Amino acid sequence: MSKKHSSDGAGHAEHPKWMQHHFDTPSQQFASSKMGMWLFLATEVLLFAGLFCAYTVYRANHMDMFVFGHQFLDVKWGAINTCVLLFSSLTAAWSVRAAQLGQKGLMIALLFITLLCGGAFMAIKYVEYSHKIHDGLLWGTKYKPAGHAAEVIHGEEAHAAGELGGAHGRVDEGHTEAEQVAGIEAAHGEGAAEAPAAGGDALATDGAQAAGAQAAAPAAQGEGVELPADVLAIDVAERSTTLPAAIGPRGLVPVAEEGHDDGHGAGHHWEGPIPDNVHIFFGIYFGMTGLHGIHVLIGMIILGWLIYRALKNDFSPEYFTPVDLGVLYWHLVDLIWIFLFPLLYLIG
């Protein structure tokens, strides 16, 4: 960067090298940087706000989709990750304190621990994601659940896609919640018009399964009327770790408990109609956690850069703005996860 002309015409006789020419005092510089960071964090929150908004809309209109979908998330890993991030926030905040007191070694160590926590978080996310990918529990067009229970899901979907519009009436019978009947707003109105082209796709691939599923479904469907109430009544932790047979397809019992390959036996399945379009839940899950994961990575890069600069002796009790701001960013990343965890893993 051209520092040539950034020297001040009036000239501050001597100032620390971190002091920029267009500020009058260090405290003005610090206050400006800090305000800039807070504003930037506001924009980050708003970036996520779009996804939170999508979450709210779909959850309000299709609660059952969320209740059904969330069982496949692993509360245990989610909770561990929450603890990891909370702990990392502690070390991060502490590193700022160390910077203020000029304890360089401690600051670097704490930043490093924070960085490690970030790494651990990503590693756990990697485990979770690979299970989802293995089970085909992905978004939109990539949603192809594997195993017996998955066939049930598929069957229902293919059927629904085939009839669309009309199909809603049938599926809705199984639900006690009023919004299921009423809440099919524009999405479905338009859906009926748009579907034949794209919906035909789902029908073609899943048609074969649909036939099988239909055979398995009737019993479940008959008694399925009470489903949402059942689901709501179940204790969160219990449901998520050891799925009662009546609630979840056994093949999708959390992988951490049983391993993900061996659970796809015959027998249990979700009682009552499987909600339409569960892939939307997974789309939102991957959208939110994916964007958050990218932010964790960015945060880790920032932490690495702070460690590098700290090693270069750039910081002192007089000047530690980057540490302060970098840690603020890290706190935001944590904070978003604190919202994501209950919203996605602990639906009840």
Partner 1 sequence: MNVTDTSITPTDLGGYASEEAESENFLSYPKGIMSWLVTLDHKRIGILYLICILTAFFIGGMFALLIRTELLTPGATIVDADTYNQLFTLHGAIMIFLFIIPGIPAALGNFALPLMLGAKDVAFPRLNLMSWYLWLIGAAFTVFSLVNGGADTGWTFYTPYSTQTDGAIISITMGVFILGFSSIFTGLNFLVTIHRLRPPGMTWFKMPLFLWGIYGTAIMQVLATPVIGITMLLLIVERTLGFGIFDPALGGDPVLFQHFFWFYSHPAVYIMILPALAIMSEIFSVFSRKHIFGYKFIAFSSIVLAILSFLVWGHHMFPSGQSELANFVFSALTFSVSIPTAIKMFNWLATMYKGEIVLKTPMLYALSFMFLFGIGGLTGLFLGSLAVDIHLHDTYFVVAHFHYVMFGGTVIAFLAGLHYWWPKVFGRMYNEKLGAIGAAIIFVGFNMTFLAQFVMGSQGMPRRYYNYIDEYTIYHHISTGGSFIMAIGFFLIAGYLLHSLLKGKRAPANPWGGNTLEWHIPSPPPYYNFKEAPTVGDPYDFSELEWDDRIEGYVFRKAEGSA
Q: Cβ contacts of residue 230 below 8 Å, gap of 6+?
A: 246, 247, 271
For residue 222, report the phi and psi dihedrals to the nearest 5 degrees.
-60, -40
**Smallest distance, partner 1 to C-beta of residue 185, A:** 7
Tell me the backbone φ, ψ of residue 242, rounded to 5 degrees: -120, 100
Q: What is the largest CA-CA distance in the chain?
A: 87
Residue 87 CB, shortest distance to partner 1, in Å, is 29
The C-alpha atoms of residue 326 and residue 332 are separated, in whole angstroms, by 10
Residues contacting 36, CB < 8 A, separation 6+ = none
DSSP character at residue 270: -
Cβ closest to partner 1, residue 43 vs residue 313: 43
Residue 95 and residue 118: Cα distance in Å, rounded?
15
Nearest distance from C-beta of residue 311 to partner 1, angstroms: 23
CA nearest to 73, candidates 254, 275, 343: 254
Distance CA 204, CA 182 (A): 29
Rounded CA-CA distance 221/227 in Å is 10
Query: Of 67 and 98, which has the nearer Cβ to partner 1?
Result: 67
How many angstroms separate the CA atoms of 347 and 341, rounded?
A: 10
Q: How far is the CB of 173 from partner 1 (least distance, A)?
A: 18
Q: Which is nearer to partner 1, 282 or 345 (CB)?
A: 282
Residue 134 Cβ vs partner 1, minimum distance, rounded to whole Å? 18
Residue 263 or residue 326: which is nearer to partner 1 going by CB?
A: 326
Residues comprising the chain, all counted? 348
Nearest distance, CB of residue 120 and partner 1, angstroms: 27
State the residues that interact with partner 1 by CB under 8 A.
1-2, 4-6, 8-10, 20-23, 28, 31-32, 35-36, 39-40, 42-51, 53-54, 57-58, 139-142, 185-191, 193-195, 197-199, 201-202, 276-277, 279-280, 283-284, 287, 291
Contact 239, 175 (CB under 8 A): no
Please, which residue, 24 or 223, has the CB nearer to partner 1? Answer: 24
Q: How far is the CB of 143 from partner 1 (least distance, A)?
A: 8
In the complex, what is the shortest distance from the CB of residue 13 to partner 1, in angstroms, rounded to a whole number? 15
CA dihedral 28, 34, 36, 37 (to 10 degrees): 160
CB nearer to partner 1: give 34 or 331: 34
Q: How many helices (H) and strands (E) does the chain have?
A: 13, 0
Between 39 and 229, name the residue whose CB sits nearer to partner 1. 39
What is the spatial distance between Cα 199 and Cα 88, in angstroms, rounded to a whole number? 45
Choice between 32 and 241, CB closer to partner 1: 32
